Amino acid sequence: MAYDPQQRFLNLVPGGNGIIYAIQADGNLYWYRHINWTTGTPASWANAGSGRLIGTAWHKFRFVLAAADGQIFAFMPNGDLLWYRYMLSDINTGAGSWHSASGTRIGTQWNFPRVIGGWNNVLYAEDGNGDLRWYKYTGTNGSFSWAANSGSKIGLQWQTYTQLFADPNGVIFGTRHGSALSWFRYLGTNGTFNWANGGAPIDTTILGPFERALFSNGSGAVYKIKTNTANPPGPDNQLQWYRLLNSETVNTSGVQWA
């Protein structure tokens, strides 16, 4: 199936350590890795920047999230949650294989308007009321196992954020249209209400328009697709890098951007 090259990717999913899983409009799943993801060096990509094709038909999922160990959580339109794991054998080329249990159903009724996370096997689901619910997958190899208290409500009124995305160890970033990037950190481990700064957001800075994709790839490394503001506007085809050096301690050590 042909696709518009100016609208090539449906989703960019961070996989940690600079890895990005890119879902193309025709359903192809590509593996990329920004080698110097901690410093932002632009021309530093595995395979000279060429993606490695590792899957097909991934456009069928509503959401796709990943952990930093190759686990991928894929949400079907009917609410089923499927588990995959890409077992990397060469971090320089993206060579690897899929775990034999990939595609196993590990959850049902995930009909939430928005789900973020994946890091540390924690998923945050925003329900229709804007409440944020905490889940943690404790299974191995695609087994159906979730932490006690999964589904607990840990926050209110998250629908006010146009974009939400997570970093490891409880860090969540949120943006409202044209506003600053807000920082939160969930400190709970079992679905209790336990937030840094009492749950209040800390605004880090205004990094420009955030109407396009925005995601974090661990340790405060934040990527966004730059919105073209020319008149008339051109294609949104620039990937920009930022890094919040103290991503887990903003509430105690202030905002420290690289």
- DSSP labels for 197-253? GGG--EE----S--SS-EEE-STTEEEEEPPP--SS------EEEEEBTTTT-HHHH
Q: Is the pLDDT of residue 177 over 80?
A: no
Domain count along the chain: 1
pLDDT, average across residues 183-210: 88
pLDDT score recorded for residue 71: 98
Q: Which amino acid is at 104?
A: T
Say how many C-beta atoms besides its own lie within 10 A of residue 43's C-beta. 8
pLDDT digits 0-9 by tens, 134-144: 999 999 899 99
Burial environment of residue 78 by CB neighbours within 10 A (0 to 12, 13 to 18, 19 or more): exposed
99 or 7: which leads in pLDDT: 99
Alpha-carbon span 225 to 111, nearest angstrom: 27
pLDDT band at residue 7 using 50, 70 and 90 as cut-offs: confident
Span of 65-74, 193-202, 235-244 with lowest mean pLDDT: 235-244
With respect to residue 108, please indicate whether it lies within any of the assigned structural domains: yes
Residue 64 pLDDT > 80? yes
CATH number at residue 163: 2.20.25.650
pLDDT > 90? residue 102: yes
Q: Is residue 2 one of the residues assigned to a domain?
A: no
Whether residue 63 has pLDDT greater than 70:
yes
Statement: residue 53 has pLDDT above 80? yes
Residue 13 lies in a domain: yes
The boundaries of the domain holding residue 130 are 7-253
Average pLDDT over residues 69-88: 98
Amino acid 1: pLDDT: 58
43 vs 94: CA distance, rounded Å? 17
Q: What is the pLDDT of residue 208?
A: 61
Could you tell me the pTM of the whole model?
0.94
Give the mean pLDDT of the chain: 92
> What value does the mean pLDDT take over residues 170-186?
89
Higher pLDDT pick, 54 / 231: 54
> Residue 6's pLDDT is what?
75
- Determine, yes or no, domain membership for 147: yes
Structure confidence at residue 3 as a pLDDT band (50, 70, 90): confident
Task: Count CA within 13 A, CB hemisphere, residue 25.
Answer: 9
Q: Is there a domain that residue 1 lies in?
A: no
* Mean of pLDDT values over 151-176: 94
